[in-house]
Amino acid sequence: MPASSRVSGRSGVDTVDIAKRHVRLFVVGNCTLLAAGAVIGWLLLPTLFGVGFIESREILVVLCVAEVAMSVHPMGQAFLIGFGHPARLASHS
């Protein structure tokens, strides 16, 4: 058994490997939802708001890329699920 899988998280409930898996799942899930939202928004903007809003598609893409690059909430959620102590997480930020 690798050493990293034997090390417990701060709560003593989840291993480090499980916490890392949660982080990966949340980040991939966040990126997938944003990509789906961008595609749906790209297709529906002119349909819902008219031809005058076609130029806003470019802004939608920039906003989605910025959200992926700058969002930290999936990491915080993954650590909360992985370690289970919100107070400790806040004190180490």
Long-range pairs, 63-70, Cβ under 8 A, ≥24 = 64/34, 64/35, 64/37, 64/38, 67/34, 68/30, 68/31, 68/34
Q: Is the pLDDT of residue 47 over 70?
A: yes
What is the C-alpha to C-alpha distance for residues 74 and 69, in angstroms, rounded to an integer? 12
pLDDT at position 82, please? Answer: 61
What rounded mean pLDDT belongs to the chain? 75
pLDDT at position 8, please? Answer: 47
